[in-house]
Every structure is written in C-alpha cells, then in structure tokens.
A and B are shown apart, each in its own frame.
Chain A
Amino acid sequence: MPEATLRTVSDPGRAGPASRSSRLAPVHWLALIFLAAALGFAAVAWATGNGFYLRLATEALIFAGLAMSVDLLLGYTGLLSLGQALYFGLGAYVSALVLRDVAPSFWLAMAAALLAGGVAGLIGGVIANRVKGVYFALITFGLAQVAAKTVYNTRALGASDGLIGIPQIQVGFGPFSLDTADPLSFFLLVLGLTVVAYAGLSYLMDAPFGRTLAAIRANEKRVPFLGFNAWRYKLAVYVLAACVAALAGALYPMLRGFVSPELMFFETSGNAVITVIVGGVGTLVGPVVGSLLLTALRSVVGSWTEHHLIVVGVIFMLSVIFLRKGLVGALLARLSRRGEQGRATP
C-alpha cells in the first residue's frame, strides 16, 4: 500500500484538518510521555542528589528551545536558517547584561531578551526574506557570522572571553520563588517553559496561521493567488522564531553564569539544524527529543574521546539516510500505520 504509507509519512502527527474531533493527536501523546519521563528523571536525579545530570538536562532543554525555533522555519515553513544562533546568542547576551548590570530579575531579563529578539528578528527577517532557498540559508549564515564576529571583537562585551560573573537569581512567581542555583528548581522551571513553548507553538502551527506556513512550504507560488501575502507570513514566522531562540538563549547565563561568543557561532546554528533533523522536522517535540539525545551522546561519548563530533556526524548522516522524518517522525509513522491496520481488521 504505497499510497497509505505516503499519507502516514507526510503528516503523521498533526490532526488532519478533516478530523475535527477533540482527540489528542499522537504527537501530543508523545510529548506527554516525554514530559512524564522528564519528571521521572528529575525525581531520580533529586533522590540520588545528582546535580550534574540535572544541569546537563537543563542545558539540553535550553538548546531544545533553539532547535524548536529552527523547526518553525525548517519543518513548518520550509526555510533553512543556518544562523539561528544569532538570536540565541543575542538573548543570552542581553539576559547576561541585564542580570549583571541592571537588576537580578528573571522576568526583566526574559522581557529584554524577547524585545531584542523581536527587533533583531524583524531586521534580519526583512534582509533574509528578500531571497529564497539556498540564498536564504546563506544570508542567515552571513548575518549570524557578522554578529558573532562583532561580539567577538567588542571589548565592552568581553570580546573572545565573553561575559562572566552572571549572578544566580531568585525567580519570583507571586508569593513563591525558586533559586536558579538549585539544579532541580531550575530544571523544573526550564521544563515548564519548554512545555509552555511546545503547547503554544503547536497550537499556533495547527491554527490557520501555521497551516498557511505549511501551504508556503508545499507550494509558495500558489499562495499569493489565494489572497495571502507570503512575504508577510514568512517575516512573521521568522520574527516568531527569533523570539523563541532569544528566550531560550536568555536562560543560558542563568544556568552557566557566563556567556561567550561561541553561542553565536556557526557550530551552534548547525547543531540546532542537526538536532531538528535527527529528532524529527515539523513536530516540535522532535527538536526536544533530538536535543536531549545529542546532549547525552556528547556527554557520554565525550567522556571517552574528545572526537565526539565524529560520532554526532555519523548519527546525523545515518538519520538523514534511514530516518528521513527523524526519530519522532518515524515513531509517529509507525503508530499511525499500526492504527490504520487496527481499523482495517476489526
């Protein structure tokens, strides 16, 4: 049944537009299972007093935010950004400066990073969306390189050393507050933010706005003849992705206590693209799974050999060849195929 396979693979996770039932889509079930596993992990890590793995998992979630922003562009709109680290690094630097020099306020740092990401995304989006395809990828790459080299050579921003001595802070929620220095608290905070980002972005991508992005990915040339200004939609999703990346970046100095120009380098952007492709494009949960997998791999393999990038590279190639839709995509295709067989044989 080649047709059935094609159908399940093409849009496995999203609830079909025809299905107006309120049943949870399989991709959201995967996200829930993932959330449960993350909470289980947190409980075990807390019980064993293992702060190292909690902080490693927190870092993985922060980079998952960056990968989600790449997924918005690549998976939903069909735009390959090779410079998403620009907005991630921008958020990190803005957050670090606010926390160190203005006020040790979590919400102020996040708001400042969001604003900076939005403004920079608007400027970058106007420039990058002048062109399409490979040229779009090259422009995003170039923009990020310019920004990274500028930061690298600016003494006021710590140049190649970056900014150090970012204070640990209290995050206030009304009467409650938690401490970023406590690995479990900060992990749960970042996990909560990841869930909010996943839920909000999934909602948006399944609303007509996100589906118009899918139409642009499928056949951009037809879109204007249906009354949409494709340029505006592409700019909107580019700004959205920049904001998501900046917010993720803003969490980085809270975890590590420093920021460095490497956050804006191509390696960061490239890793985010690899994360999305290994995890599963166009699923939003795929980038999170991919980020945890690759972070764990780097840590484990990195303890044996410093050449862990070789391993990551091989996994990337295998994933592209054998799992075209990434881990989550393959899983969803399998689930829905089984579901169809179940329906076919009562």
Chain B
Amino acid sequence: MTASPLRTATAGGACALGVRDLSVNFGGLQAVAGVGFDAAAGRITSVIGPNGAGKSTLFNLISGAIRPTGGRVTLDGADVTGRSPDRLLAAGLARSFQITNLFFELPVLENLRIAAQVLERPWHALRPVGHSRRALAKADALLERFGLSAKARELAGNLSHGEQRRLEIAVALAAEPRVLLLDEPTQGMSHGDTADTGALIRSLAGDLTVLLIEHDIGLVMSLSDHVVVMAQGRKIAEGPPAVVRADPAVQAAYFGHR
C-alpha cells in the first residue's frame, strides 16, 4: 500500500499512461469522444460510468484492440497510439477482459506458461518447454498467489466462474507488465470473492500502474487513487474518489440514467 490517500494521482507520481483527446467513430456513432486523463505510476485509476458510456471501447483503444480515429496514447511519455496489442505488451502494457478470455481447452498452468513465455528469449520457443525456466517459475508463482495450485492440471474451461476470473487476472500479470488494464475483474463474483479481488488489486499497485473498469462503486471508491467518470463517450468528471462522488454532474449522469 504505497499510495497514501492524500497524495492523489494527478498530484503524485509521474504519468505512466497518458490518454489525450482519444476518439473513435463507429459508422457515425462517436463511441469515445475526446477523452483524456493521466494514470499516475504505481496508482489505481478507475474509469466508471453508466452502461454504454464507452468504457470498454476506451480500453480497446488503449490496448490496441481498436485503432483510434483521433488522439494519442502515451506509455511513460512515448507515443504508442495505434500499436498492435503484441507490441504494446512488449512496451509493458497488459490487459484482462470483461468476458473471460482464456485458453479453455488448455490446462490452467499452460494458460499461465504461455502468458509468461514473453519473459524468455525468442529462441526458447524452439527449445524444450523445461528450458523456459523463468516462464515456468512465473506460472508457478502466479498459481500460488491466485490460489490455483490445486487446479494447475485442470483445463481452464473446467474451472468455476470465480476461478476463471482470477485466472484472467493472473494471465494478464504473467508478462510482468508495468501498466495493467483490468476490465471489470469482479464481474459475476460473489461478495467474498469481490472483497478478495479488491485486496489483490490494492496489493498490485505500487509496483504496477492499474487502470480499472469496475461496476461495484463501493469497491471503486475504496480502491482508487483517481477516478475518471464517463458518460455517452465523454469524460464528465475526474478527481479523487471523494470529489467525484460529490460532483453534481456525476450524480446526474450516473444515477439519473438508472
């Protein structure tokens, strides 16, 4: 817990992930329109907003899944706008998915080993798997940390929903990214699992810059150093949790649409 509540994101650490005036059109529909914010290094920045606000599209733009029609994304100051996901991962940006996106027909350990393989030199791809020691050690460490050791040989498709959600985060962490995008990590989780996942995300920050989409407002307010509020593709507010919660525009957009 390196982030103190007094040193908020914009006031504190350097900008790890910069988003400037980011926009995309889907056939005339402005899904994301001129959104900009800074995610401070080692902090948790959350993006909230009602359904259809463009949060997931924003993630897709930042992570290279969709090419923006305007604006810029910077990683530690370097322009990475429009880079493919694999090149972004090499630059230190990883993401998880709202809808669990694993290799369901492969074992749990293999899901993690594949995700950690980028830690190895390229020629290890042609050597026996046992030579990829770093990747295997990383996979083992993540199994341990996410309480999946007993399920290592199980197919990912045979895990429970909660376990799959945990594996989803673990897979995103395997490449040792510097910036981690988590798209609704607690989606469909029980209350107990949600609290555990919150604690886990909290423990990730510090080493890691976290950008989080989350529907559980209680969790967002307790976890985040900085909150960005979106509605209808635009940013309508940002700031520390307490400030954002008190913002009348946020209350109107967020609760008015319910």
Interface set of A (CB-CB < 8 Å, partner B): 3, 6-7, 10-11, 16-18, 20, 203-204, 206-209, 211-212, 214-215, 218-219, 221-222, 224-229
Contact = CB atoms under 8 A, between A and B. Distances in A.
Interface of B: 63-65, 84-86, 89-90, 94-95, 97, 101-107, 109-110, 113-115, 117-118, 120, 124-130, 132, 135, 152-155, 158, 171-172, 174-175
B106 A226 contact: no
A214 B129 CA distance: 14
Given A10-B155, A16-B107, A212 B114 contact: yes
State the main secondary structure of chain B at its contact with A. Answer: mixed
5 contacts: A7-B155, A11-B105, A208-B125, A208-B127, A218-B106
B101 A17 contact: no
Contacts of B90: 227
Contacts of A214: 103, 106
A208 B117 contact: yes
A3 B65 CA distance: 34
A214 B155 CA distance: 14
A306 to B, nearest CB: 42
B101 A222 contact: yes
Nearest to A222: B101
Contact of A227 (B86, B97, B107, B124): B86
A225 B102 contact: no
Contact of B171 (A7, A206, A221, A226): A226
A212 B120 CA distance: 14
Contact of B105 (A17, A206, A218, A224): A218
A215 B129 contact: no
Given A211-B129, A226-B175, A18 B153 contact: yes
A16 B124 CA distance: 18
A209 B105 contact: no
A307 B228 CA distance: 71
B155 A6 contact: yes
Given A17-B110, A222-B102, A224-B85, A204 B126 contact: yes
Given A17-B110, A218-B104, A228 B86 contact: yes
